[in-house]
Amino acid sequence: MTVHYLKSATPQAPEQKIELRDQVTDILLAIEKGGEAEALRFARRFDRWEGDIVVTPKEIEAATARLSPSLREDIDFAHENIRRFADAQRATLTDMEIEMAQGFMAGQKSIPVLGAGCYAPGGRFSHVASALMTITTAKAAGVEFVAASSPPRGGFGISDEMAYAMHLAGADTILRMGGVQAIASMAFGFFGMTPVDVLAGPGNSWVAEAKRQLFGRVGIDMVAGPTDSLILADSSAHAEVVSWDMVGQMEHGADSPVWLVTDDADLASAVLEMIPGLIGSLPAANAESAAVAWANLAEIVVCDTREEMARMADTYAPEHLHVQARDLDWWLGRLKAYGSLFLGEETTVAFGDKASGPNHVLPTSGAARYTGGLSVHKFLKTVTWQKSTAEAARRVAEVTARISRMEGMEAHARTADIRLSPRG
């Protein structure tokens, strides 16, 4: 395997995570002990929000009225695509039953959790799309109660478009709250809510760590790190399109790695030359983070064959994997490790981020080797059941008794024995 790095990532110093972990632990313990009042205190401190935490129906109505018809239409379009895809996912999960022997039935049911808490980031960017992705998917799974939370922005609370999107997606309670205190409030059931069973949605390192520490008490979608993206391109790809797709993902932040893997050295060189200028054309704040990501984390790799390219993609296991190459069916059949796959030049990753339908809450940092992204499955429990007649149970009871005694579990054996004896 011949691989040439035209641009390599700069090794980064390991993150200092112990202090963050301990701080989040302290906040969670304080909130659990102090209850809603303590969560509110942290909201006043970190969110700098002095108003009410829960968004009222009247406030949602007013926010909706302030939005332009065109913006509402755009949010409606994205929501409809996300809902349709989630509904189609749900339809693939069917209850089933099988007759193991005459008179002995076993089966499977998919049961939604009772409550879900959905977090949407609202710091540097107000991620309306994340609200749609999480809340809509939970509702499509059949979750009865969905709480939603996003940090207030300045003195205005959450944005009008965020309030509208959360309500449209089906949120039963909407909180103006961010960070650890928001995650804790949904998990513990403050501000008039029932404690949720599953927490979902992206967030900063504080949010991710709070979800990680609460896992077990509640379910979570995943522990997500910085977003990442890999492009596989051959000589049929256009350098400007590839370059913009890389810059578009670097815009997420200075810690967002982006990789290009290609078998065309000319394409690789053209992209290497073009990207700095594209970054420089962005607004200053966007350009600043993208420039750091480009300098420190971006890679451009030239391989000899498409099979080598595919192996590299499987090794990186990116969150987003975009193929801009010939023979898309070959890539679809060959690639094995990714959060979401984008096939062809016309399906930019930004489509998946915002409006095309499949969920954008995806595994990062190589986790796509062993898990997929957020879906209706995360809000469902696949459970089993069985029932039997006395006659059908005899063979199972005999085998159960023998295996139990072989294992040394006498009481288990006797629960089987009693099924073999006449009972009055």
| Beta-ladder partners of 320 | 229, 340
pLDDT at 15: 62
Tokens linked to 317: 């296991």
pLDDT at 155: 77
pLDDT at 198: 98
For domain 226-372, give its CATH number from 2.102.10.10, 3.40.50.1980, 3.30.360.10, 3.90.226.10. Answer: 3.40.50.1980
Same fold yes or no, 17-220 and 226-372: yes
Domain residue spans of the chain: 17-220, 226-372, 389-420
CB neighbour class for 107 (10 Å; exposed up to 12, middle 13-18, buried from 19): middle
CATH class of domain segment(s) 17-220: alpha beta
- 3-state percent breakdown (helix, strand, coil) of the chain, nearest 5: 50, 20, 30
pLDDT at 275: 98
Query: Tens of pLDDT along 208-242?
Result: 999 999 999 999 999 988 999 999 999 999 999 99
Q: What is the pLDDT along the chain (424 residues), one digit of tens a residue?
A: 689 999 999 876 666 678 999 999 999 999 999 999 999 999 999 999 999 999 999 999 999 999 999 999 999 999 999 999 999 999 999 999 999 999 999 999 999 999 999 999 986 667 899 999 999 999 999 999 999 999 998 778 999 999 999 999 999 999 999 999 999 999 999 999 999 999 999 999 999 999 999 999 999 999 988 999 999 999 999 999 999 999 999 999 899 999 999 999 999 999 999 999 999 999 999 999 999 999 999 999 999 999 999 999 999 999 999 999 999 999 999 999 999 999 999 999 999 999 999 999 999 999 999 999 999 999 999 999 999 999 999 999 999 999 999 999 999 999 999 999 987 6
Query: Tens of pLDDT along 347-359?
Result: 999 999 999 999 9
For 281, other C-beta atoms within 10 Å of its C-beta total 9
- Strand duo 258-262 + 299-303: pairing: parallel
pTM (two decimals): 0.94
Kindly list the catalytic residues.
319-320
Give the residue among 372, 374, 367 at the shortest CA–CA distance from 317: 367
pLDDT at 423: 79
pLDDT at 10: 85
Distance in angstroms (rounded) separating the CA atoms of residues 292 and 298: 9
- Strand duo 299-303 + 3-7: pairing: antiparallel
Q: How far is CA 56 from the centre of its chain?
A: 27
Distance in angstroms (rounded) separating the CA atoms of residues 256 and 228: 5
Q: Say if CB 98 and CB 106 are below 8 A apart.
A: yes
